[in-house]
Each structure stands twice: as structure tokens, then as C-alpha cells.
Structure 1
């Protein structure tokens, strides 16, 4: 696969069978209304397929199917070892269909197919495998009591879990939610972003092929204001995990209060700072990773390192390195292995990014990029863009742009760098570059974020929790900790004759 040419990927893309119906109770079905919407390839503007436009009636059917499956125990009371075997089989099926899963995400939202094939799809398989292997290794508790009392504390599945996922990592974000929720024994109703529903629909089909009982994983494509809202307000959804914008996360919190007080687990926006100190000895690696931290996936990453704070004494030299890297990371056809960046997800997002860039041209120093371009005369493409000497109160440094736009801000002291880094409504992630161990630990301690990456960017693994603080939300994906949001603690107290 790594040796595939541009033509190889195009040929495989043309041979795909695209599934656009909803997936409810183990089968593909049309929306109750019969309505559909178009899934559009942002690199070409071509319609990929018509997708079922689910609404309240479809969400009701999906939740009912999930509830039946949960209540009759076909999955929730299946032996842990048997649930493990099913999810391990699903991980294997993702690997067996790696090309297809990668192509679905690339065509649907514009990411580089090589990234999808080497990062996203293998990651999805890995996370399903990791949670599968955890299922039969999580123990319940016996509380300390006196003679004649036995207090058992168990983690039990909640029931029906709603999952609303974003378009930037369609397969991975569906997996981050579904793998943990399913491992805990829940049923899941997944609403993928309307811009990128195709891989989630295929994932559900593969799950049934792996042996997941009908009704346990349902996928309802549709729009946030209709299908997403219906899921958030549903009286029979026990928990809802959301990744997306802070504004929509707040809406889901409101939906909970307006309905059944379901648990809401938001992982929302970010404006992650990257702090480069003059005592960082390997500035070339720091520059390489700073470029990756903002330009990977076209900057459409919630934890993208979009604020770059550089110690003034090295700032100009460091920016020169970044400019060279930006010039070498120009967008191209997402199916071309030679392309360094793909397409922006859709026209609306592209125009939003360009509004920030155009405003920035009048308020900061544009040193790289700054233009919308086409590839083959088509598509939603934005050059990797760098603004230097950005004021800390500039919208470029305050707002989540969610595109390949980097703001460079100089600092003169550690205290100033930390203060500016923390001066944000967001607190998802941060990076620190220094060869001073005390400084690394000291600065990491003071940064109000969920993950601090030292001498790297955006570090994550199945073993470590991912999530933020402040208005980046309080949900946590990955690690064993994520199982806590899909389970409840249940005490069974037994009196016996001592």
C-alpha cells in the first residue's frame, strides 16, 4: 500500500461501493422521511453519493433498537471473553479493509489518503484491539466492611450511549467513542458529521460481520440541528459523548438539562500553544514538529499547535526555518502520495479560514502562504499560512481557526510565555521545547491544559487520556479512564450470618 501511485489510489477509489443509507438494527435502511443529502468530495466538488438524512424518527428507531439489544443482554450480558473476541475480530476486519477505510475518509473530507492509510485507519484498528484486550482485565471491588456485611462495587454499562463525532478524523473519532462504549457493554447510536459519514457506516457493517449483535451499534447520518439535537434531547439515551466545537458542546449540555439529565461528555475546541525556548538545542526538529503541529490534516485538528510562542533571541531564525517548511508543504490531490496537504473539508470551512487570513493581512505580518488555491482547477485548498509578530489580542491568536494558519508571537521570559499560553478560553493541549529538564517540568506544571507534550507535539496513545480543561471541555477519550464515562458504579450490599 505504501508503494501505491497516484493512479493506483484513483483506480481503487473508482471501484469503491459507497454506502449512504442509515444503519439501524443491523441493516441499512433509508431515512423514514426518504430525504437524502449529498456527500461531496472537497478536492473536486464531485458528489460521492446520496446519504440518508436522518431526523427524530430515525433517531427514535435507532435508540429503540439499542435499548432492546441492551435490555435483552445480547451484548451487555455477554461474557467478557466473548465480547473481547468480537471486538478483536472487528480490529482485524478494519485492517483487512484498510485501503477502503482510508479512501472513504480521504474522499469524504479531503485528508491525504496516505495519512488515512498509515495513521487513521491503523489507529482505529489499534484502539478497537486495545479496548477489546482490556475487557476481561478490569476488576470490580469489594469494599471494606465488618463481619456479616459484604459490599460489592461493580462498574456496569449505562445502557444506550449517543456519540456525536466531528469531520476531521471521521473513522478515528467514531472509534474513540464506540470502542470504549462497546467494550463496557453499552449499545451505541452514532451520529457522524454530515460532511463525513461514509467510514462510520462502513464501520457499523464491519462490526456486524465481526459478530456484534444487531442493534448494538447504529449509525444515523444527518445534520446537527436535527439528528444531533434529537439524540441530545432523547429521553432514552443514558450518556452522550461529543467531539466538536465549544458552542455545540454547550448546546448538548443544555439538551441534557431539558431532557433526562443524561451524562454529557464534551471534548470541544482548542487553540493550543507551542512554546519554544532558546535553550532548545535541536531547533530543526522543533521547526519540523511545529510545522506538523499546525499543518497536519490541513490544520483541522482540535489540538493543533496554532499559537507559536518563540523566545525573541531565536525568533527570526526559527521563523525562517518554518517558512521553508511551509513552502515545502503545499496542498495537492489527496489521492496523490506526493501531496503534503489535502483539501479543506468543505466550502463553508474554506471561506471561514480565508476570512481570518484576509483580516490577518491587515493586522499582522504575513510571511508564508495566505492564498486559496485550486488543484486541477477545482477544490477547497488553502496554502500553509504563517503570520509573524502577531499581537496576543489579535483574533489570529485568540480564535479557533481550524485551518492551516499559524500565529507567531515572541516572548522575553518564561513567565511571559506561560502567562500568554494560559491566557485563552481553551485548555486542550500544549507543547514545550527546551533542553532544561527543570524548565520542562516547571512549565508543564503551570500550563492549564489536558496534555503537555515536551519536545514533541500532540503526543497521544491508547494508554493515555485525551481531553482538555476550561472551554475545551471535560470529556476524556482513550485510556482506561474513558471507560468511566460509559459505566456507572453500582453497589450490592449483602447481609449474611457471620
Structure 2
């Protein structure tokens, strides 16, 4: 009977996939982790700890130390002491350490991919094929800059700022770590990094990589904890530069906290990116870009294309093709190599997504999701499309940070630009058209830090990334990413 059922299923769907789970045994997760300060792991001064939970199963993965003000103070002092020698080390010598770190990330990529998937909830094919390779690439790239800073365009003899306090989000834990630590170390700064409370494990894994690479003690310190830990780091008088990626609300609080202190800062905050599809766009290609733009990492991406602007004449065609494509997405076990959408990162984030989508329905938008069975445990949300959306709808204005797409229409390029720019954010945008002249004309009018043409969510360590308006200020990546860590 079982073989008959398999045969019937195969005949009904000749492209059906069998489960292909990656083994979680490739990575060892300790039952508890301390803070990484001055090259050693240590308990928090007050002994407090919190649990790191896997979003896909609600399983407790490990218990992690909760850093407080005393712990932050110890970490900053360790970084300050290490800065004295690290900052005067020849750039070529600093580069050797960054190259070692990059190679170790590559060598241990399978461990890191599984760990990131377990702790974050995103599909293994994303951590394996995007997050980990890009993290290594950033260390390789900035290792190449370490002995060429005088040629970066910031003076002939630029100097490091000092101690960088860095706070990273939970949506790309290791990649955001690389975005921040690599340029800081290349330019001669030392670091105290606070990972997100819900995803601390890859940062603690990275601490072990630093030791494996022989990085001098105190150059990188990692203090885990919640928002109070981050506030203590931002407010510490020994921190010379603050780098933050996260919500706009927290970014504003940080800007207020450091006002008048003389601390340098880069803030990469929220977004409500517009993905603009013109009537001459190749529909199938555009649909793939739309899916990548909003459903990559369950839409938990600051530069997600969460607003789809479709030229009115092709609206029905694009929406029908998009719905057909969404019926093929696989939602489920993130360790399965066939999975397209994994789990939402936390119960709090899931509640926010539900509240905003309920508001979208209440305000009259038309909601649609493909038929899909969600796992019984963990934090899950089906891919969702809202049509008949206007600019007045909450779902067209607020950052949902989930697998939710709002579809609006436009008639002319000027209307498309006006609608795309009608937001407090300015992080990303996408343009789909066969006309190169139209791409250039529209891109020049969009108030967005990055504009993709006939693609979406493509990143490279050589390219700067950052936003306008309430999406923050400063750039990370590329030559521009060096400036924030240099006294120029």
C-alpha cells in the first residue's frame, strides 16, 4: 500500500521532492556559553543568563550569559588595551589575521550554516549558499584593504578611531558581524560586539574562530545580552564609534543617546522597499525577482521588496503568475535542503506580523496565501500577498519584516517614482524593464540607498550599502565602508 501511495503521488506530481535534511550533528552546541572578553570566555559578573531557542522547533539550544554594565566595561577596557598594539601593527600584518579568519570561515562553513539555521530559523540553502560565503568574502575583501588605506581616498595617512561598539540584528547574524568587524579590524580598530538576543550562537562560534586564527587578545570581544546590554555599550565613554543595524526606533534612541558625545556612528535601519514592474518587463524573470525580494529569509530583510508596484496594464498578468509561483514554495523544516521558507525568528516577531496583516484585512486589502501546511511546533507564517492596496493602508507604510507583500499599481513612470518615494524609509528599490534608459531615468529619481535593475537582493562586499531618511546614515561595504572607522 505504501509503494502504491508513493506511485500515485509521483504520477500526480512528477517533480515531487523527498526530504533532504542536513545533519545537525556536524556542529557541536555547548549547553552554556559565557561572554568572550580579552580572548577568554567568562561568566557574566552577576551570573545572569538567557536561553537561545530554535525558532523552528522551540527547542532550547543553549544557555547564554547576559552581559551587564560591568561586563561591558571589562570588554571596552580590554579592547582599549589591545588597540594600543593593534592600531600600530602594519596593515599587511593585520591583513594576515583577516585572511586567516576568512579561510577558517570557509573551512568551517558547514558547521556555521547548520548553526545559523538552527538558531535563526532560515533555510539551510540560504545560510549555506548566501550568508556564510558572503561573510567570508567580506573578510577577504577588507583584508585586501588593510595595507592600502592611504589609497582609499581618505587621506594619505588615515588613522583608526579606537574602540568600536557594534550591535547586530538577528536576521543575518554572521553576515552582519562580518560587515562590521572586517572593516573595523582592517583599519586598526578594536571591537566590542553585541549580537542579537535571539541569535547569539554564531557570534560565539566566531569567537572561537578568532582564537583559532591567533587574533591578539582583546581585539574582538563579544558581549551577549538584551537591549540593556546594547544601551550600556552605546553609552560607555570608552567607545569611540557606534555601528548599529536594526529597527528605526532603536536607531533613533541611539542617535539621541550619543548626541553631543563626539562619538561617530553608522545606523542601518528599517526599510519599505519598492519593487517596480513596468509593462515591458519579462514577467517570469520579474516574478522570480519579486519572490527573492520579499520571501528570501521569510521577508525578514531590511531591504526587502515589500511593496510591489505594477504598471496597471500588466497587473493581472503579473499577479496571476506570482500566485502560480507561490504555490511551488516549500515551507517547513529549515534544515531540509528543499525548503524555501523557514521559521519566523521569534514569537514576538510572529505576533507583530500577525497584527499588521490583520490590520491589512481590516482596512480592506484583499489577502491571499497559497495552500500550505505549517508545522505544529515553532513560529511559522505562510507567504502572503495583499492586493487592492492603497498608500493609505498600514501594510503599505509600516515595515512588517515578514513574508508579506503589498501590491499597488501605477500608470506612468512619474507616478511609480512618486509612490516609491512616498515612505519615511529609503533603503532599497528594484526596477524591472527592458529599457536601459528607463532604468537610469527612474533610478536617478528614487530616494533609496541601493537600486537593483532586473534583479533583487544581490550583495557584494565591494558595493556600499546604506539608506536615506529613516533608513539611517552611513555606508557599509566597499571602499565607502572604511570611512566610518577612520579618523579622516
- The TM-score normalised by the length of structure 2 is 0.93
More strand by share: 1
- Give the Å deviation of 1:230: 0.4
C-alpha deviation, 1:373, in angstroms: 6.3
| 3-state SS in 1 of match to 2:218 | coil
- Deviations along 1:194-215, one digit per CA (max 9) or x if unpaired, are 0101101111221121121000
Tell me which residue corresponds to 1:187. Answer: 190
Q: Which residue of 2 aligns with 1:90?
A: 101
Distance 2:319 2:208 in 1: 47
Deviation at 1:393, TM superposition (A): 1.1
Q: Does the alignment pair 1:38 with 2:46?
A: no
The residue aligned with 1:310 is 310
Secondary structure of residue in 1 paired with 2:484: helix
Partner of 1:246: 248
Question: Structure 2, unaligned stretches of length 5 or more?
Answer: 1-17
- Equivalent residue of 1:341, what SS? coil
Contact 1:200 1:219 in 2 (8 A): yes
Q: 1:212 aligns with which of 215, 220, 241?
A: 215
- For 2:224, the equivalent position in structure 1 comes to 221
Counterpart residue number, 1:160: 163
Secondary structure at the counterpart of residue 150 of structure 2: coil
SS at 2:130 equivalent: helix
| 1:195-243 residue CA offsets vs partner (Å, 9 max, x unmatched) | 101101111221121121000000001011x110001111010000000
Residues 165-206 of structure 1: per-residue CA shift (max 9 Å, x gap): 000000000110000001101000000000101101111221
Give yes or no for the alignment of 1:196 onto 2:199.
yes
Q: Please show how residues 230-379 of structure 1 align to structure 2 within 5 Å.
A: 230-257=232-259, 260-280=261-281, 282-369=282-369, 374-375=374-375, 377-379=376-378
Distance (Å, rounded) in 1 between the aligned partners of 2:21 and 2:436: 48
Paired residue secondary structure (2:471): coil
**Alignment-derived partner of residue 63 in structure 1:** 76
Partner Cα separation in structure 2 for residue 167 and residue 8 of structure 1: 22
Deviation at 1:372, TM superposition (A): 9.9
Task: Give the C-alpha shift of residue 257 in structure 1.
Answer: 2.1
Say if 1:363 and 1:89 are closer, same or farther in 2 by CA, change over 3 A: same
Once the two structures are TM-superposed, the CA of residue 161 in structure 1 deviates from its matched residue by: 0.2
Question: Which residue in the other structure is 1:417 paired with?
Answer: 416
Equivalent residue pairs, number = 471
In 1, Cα distance between the equivalents of 2:147 and 2:474? 24
Q: Output the CA distance in 2 between the equivalents of 1:167 and 1:94.
A: 19
User: Are the aligned partners of 2:326 and 2:370 in contact in 1 as well (CA < 8 Å)?
Assistant: no
CA 70–422 in structure 1, closer or farther in 2 if over 3 Å, else same: same
Gap change, CA 1:141 and 1:272, over 3 Å in 2: closer
Contact 1:187 1:217 in 2 (8 A): yes
In structure 2, distance between residues paired with 1:310 and 1:201: 44
Deviation at 1:436, TM superposition (A): 1.5
How many Å apart are 1:113 and its aligned residue? 1.5
Return the offset for 1:111: 0.7
Cα pair 2:167 2:244 within 8 Å, conserved: yes
Whether contact under 8 Å (1:372, 1:382) holds in the other structure is no
- 2:438 is aligned to 439
1:422-472 Cα distance to aligned partner (Å, 9 max, x none): 000000010001111221111000001111111111332111100011110
Pairwise CA distance, 1:117: 1.1
Deviation at 1:367, TM superposition (A): 4.7
**1:140 CA drift (Å):** 5.8
Q: Which of residues 3, 8, 23 in structure 2 aligns to 1:9?
A: 23
- Asked if the contact 2:368/2:386 (under 8 Å) is kept, the reply is yes
Query: Who is 1:468 aligned against?
Result: 467
Partner of 1:289, secondary structure, is helix
Measured against aligned partners, the alpha-carbon deviations of 1:134-181 in whole angstroms (never above 9, x if no partner) come to: 1122326999xxxxxxxx852100010010000000000011000000
- Offset, 1:76: 1.2
Instruction: Determine if contact 2:432/2:454 at 8 Å carries over to the other structure.
Output: yes
Say whether the 8 Å CA contact 2:138–2:178 is kept in structure 1.
yes
Corresponding residue for residue 108 of structure 1: 119
Could you say which residue in structure 2 is the equivalent of 1:426? 425
Instruction: Confirm or deny: 8 A CA contact 2:361 2:367 kept in the other structure.
Output: no
Matched, 1:135 2:146: yes
Rounded to whole Å, the distance in 1 between the matches of 2:391 and 2:182 is 39
CA distance in structure 2 between the partners assigned to 1:78 and 1:351 by the alignment: 49
5+ unaligned residues in a row in structure 1: which ranges? 144-151, 490-498
Equivalent position of 1:494 in the other structure: none
Contact kept, 8 Å, 2:330 with 2:340, in 1: the verdict is: yes
How far apart are 1:325 and its partner, in Å?
A: 1.8
Quick one: distance in 2 between partners of 1:165 and 1:201? 13
Candidates 61, 64, 68, aligned match of 1:48: 61
- Any idea what the Cα deviations from partners look like across 1:245-266, whole Å, max 9, x if unmatched? 01100111111126x3311210
- Give the Cα–Cα distance (whole angstroms) in 1 for the partners of residues 348 and 370 of structure 2: 17
**SS of equivalent residue, structure 1 residue 439:** helix
